[in-house]
Amino acid sequence: MSMRRYTVFLLFFICFYGYAQQFEVLPLGVYGGGDESNLSSYLVRDFKTPNYIACDAGTIRAGLLKAEEKGNLSKPPMQFLQENVKAYFISHSHLDHLSGMIINSPEDGPKSIYALPPTIQTLKDHYFINATWSNFANEGENPILGKYEYKRMREGKSYAIAETDLHLTAFPLSHPVPSSAAWLHNELGYSILYLGDTGPDSIEGDGHLKDLWKAVGKDLKKGKLKAVFIEVSFTNSQPDNMLFGHLTPKYLAEELQQLAKFAGKKNLKDFPIVITHIKPDADNIVLIKKELQESNDLEVKYIFPEQGVPLQF
């Protein structure tokens, strides 16, 4: 091939891959309470491979059944869970982020559980024990059934997730218990960011979100970061002293302005921000959507995920 033809080919290749979709995310649960059949869990896969990592596991089976009902599942739900979900990332130890994993553990297949050390400690001390369930993990109370392997993550260190073509890095977040975000990269360097529950820096005061925005901002600027999944639990009417480590539309807008400082304001325009963890009480869903649009000065693209309906990025 001549140099010129080679260059044209290379440019085409780069453009094609630059615009091609990189990730599929199948939401198994999208709310932050109130409905135990629809709590935080998002299956993420690189588009070239059929295997997923589950970011949180509040609801598993009800989400898979919903996906099947909508024609979005390639095999029966529990077979899919056993064969195609290769690992869990648990953002923090609250039940709405892991109860689906516990309840379905007898029928699940072997997997790793990735989390920061305090979350693993809670699983080991309080959930995978005989008084509340059985020990399906590989450490702790006897009898040790050993189906799940605990993987204690170091903040900021990248881990290759077996059989998924994904690399996972965890960052700390502020919440009543230690919480975390998962930054998932594929082999081409594209990424998706999933945040567990978090309060805003201006209330929590420890700068965890600023550190996170600094880490991912460069990738967003280069077009390598494809989407951010972040919580908005309450409407703007929630008093500051009743936030319990969560965000409202007002505080999300404040945090996105922080992100824009590292990523460039113009790069946030039409950038996908997926809203998770709404508490679906009264008319919260309608109000939160309205308040988000009203404060959307950066013109990001707000996406409201639906249980069992895949998203592409």
Residue 28 or 260 with smaller CB distance to Zn ion: 28
Interface with Zn ion, residue 94, by CB under 5 A? yes
Task: Tell me the C-alpha distance between 222 and 279, whole Å.
Answer: 34
Rounded to whole angstroms, the Cα distance separating 67 from 305 reads 13
255 binds Zn ion (CB under 5 A): no
* DSSP per-residue string spanning 55-103: E--S--HHHHHHHHHTT--SS-HHHHHHHHEEEEE--SS-GGGTHHHHH
- The least distance separating Zn ion from the CB of residue 69, rounded to whole angstroms, comes to 25
∠ CA 41-140-51, rounded to 5°? 30
Candidate ranges 90-98, 135-143, 210-218, 300-308; the one touching Zn ion (CB under 5 A): 90-98
Q: How far is CA 22 from CA 44, 83, 185, 191, 311, in A?
A: 11, 21, 10, 8, 11
Name which of residues 193 to 222 contact Zn ion (CB under 5 A). 197
Question: 88 — phi, psi (to 5°)?
Answer: -110, 140
Q: Which is nearer to Zn ion, 141 or 204 (CB)?
A: 204
Q: Minimum Å distance from CB 274 to Zn ion?
A: 15
CA atoms of 137 and 112, how far apart (whole Å): 9
The least CB distance from residue 59 to Zn ion, in Å, is 12
Beta carbon of residue 147, minimum distance to Zn ion (angstroms, whole number): 25
What is the x/- site pattern for Zn ion, positions 95-114, by CB under 5 A?
-x------------------
Comparison of 184 and 278: residue with beta carbon closer to Zn ion: 278
What part of residues 26-45 is at the interface with Zn ion (CB under 5 A)? Answer: 32
**Residues in 178-197 that interact with Zn ion by CB under 5 A:** 197
Instruction: Give Cα 152 distance to the centre of its chain.
Output: 18
Question: Which x/- pattern, by CB under 5 A, does the window 5-24 give for Zn ion?
Answer: --------------------
Neighbours of 202 (CB within 10 A): 12
Judged by the rule CB under 5 A, the positions of this chain that interact with Zn ion are: 32, 94, 96, 197
